[in-house]
Amino acid sequence: MSDVTIRDIRVILTEPDGIRLVIVKVETSEPGLYGVGCATFTQRPLPVKVAVEKYLRPFLIGRNVADIEDIWQSSYVSSYWRNGGVLNNALSGVDQALWDIKGKMAGMPVYDLLGGRAREAAAVYVHASGREPAEVADKVSAFIDEGFHHVRVQVDTPGYATYGTKGLDKSTESARGSSGGPRNVTTWKKELTPGKRYAHPPGIFEPKPYMNSALGLFDLVRSQCGWDFEMLHDVHERIPPIDGVWFAKEVEQYRLFFLEDLFSPEDQEYFRIVRQQCSTPIAMGELWNNPHEVIPMVKDRLIDFIRVHISQMGGITPCRKIAAMGEMFGVRTAWHGPGDTSPVGHAANLMLDLNAWNFGIQEYAIFGERTREVFPGCPEVLDGHMWPNGKPGLGIDVDEELAAKFPHSKWEFGGAWNEIRRADGSIVRP
């Protein structure tokens, strides 16, 4: 049994390409042996840092690094109240780093520690978005030419805020604050010119116009790009449940690979109604952080793809169990992998993607050049697949000196999630 112990745990905050990333580094009693893990919670990075350094660090120093399961279980209940984005991300950073260490000690990639590979590489999907359907279709064609077979499509709804079309949840540039963060609705109210009519100020969302524009997009993309690639779409949980039932039935004709986040976690019983009325494949889970939210959805086969964010759920340790449960019920994995998953998080995703027989698809965010420099060993994508580099552990590192050159910027309103409202002023849940 290994006698290597945890010597120190540190948090690295960096923002090389405009997204606030949180990395945990676990150092050991063995000189030069350490591991890194992703604990990125872009909207609340500082509470995660405090949770790691002020609570997990003193709790875990001196523990044997080999005891990942015991460390996870004891840390999970150490706060008494558990689950939630802050505590789970803090725990994930430590957990991923410990798997990284174990792989380095064994001289194996983490997927080998989990039982080996079920595939050579993991198929990924990329994002095609634009102001007009034709623009989106052109991007889809370009991605297909590059070798991608799975593409998520999103298009602006003219005059309204639309999710996923510009890397920002707003329909115009005026919806942004000067620091790059989201604006508060009160701000644009103060800026309105007296006597001038505003049809739909930035940040206003309405379900019917959104659904109509999305259906028009699907029709054009299928007409222009054909049926031999897999098309995906994200509703992002913001339409009334009964509208979601109708929408899932309408998109059935376009044979999506999956329709994502059709309902919010509060409304997920509506998936039972969808199952009774159509066969549109459903992906769900990025807002889940409690395994008890996952279990009924999987065991009753109400979803087709488990869509959880690995660091939001607590790391590799719980997610490998969730993947195994999905296999028993024919539910595939589709781990959340947007730009606010750090390259370390993407490396952790890849370890599970390669090991799990019931892998479905992996979301991929194309790394910026500065991000690739800060994180040597970023997973490589070729011909629409993410490939492992075969290095021990997670196969990735962080250049701390370079990371320090890109500190977290100060975001307006602390970096709060974009405030989207209905035309009557009521808030829309993401």
Specify whether 200 is catalytic.
no
Specify whether 236 is catalytic.
yes
Catalytic-role residue among 150, 236, 336, 385: 236
Q: Which residues contact 84 (CB under 8 A, 6 or more apart)?
A: 289
Cα–Cα distance for residue pair 198/201, rounded to 1 Å: 6
Catalytic-role residue among 111, 163, 254, 270: 163
Point out the residues that are catalytic.
163, 236
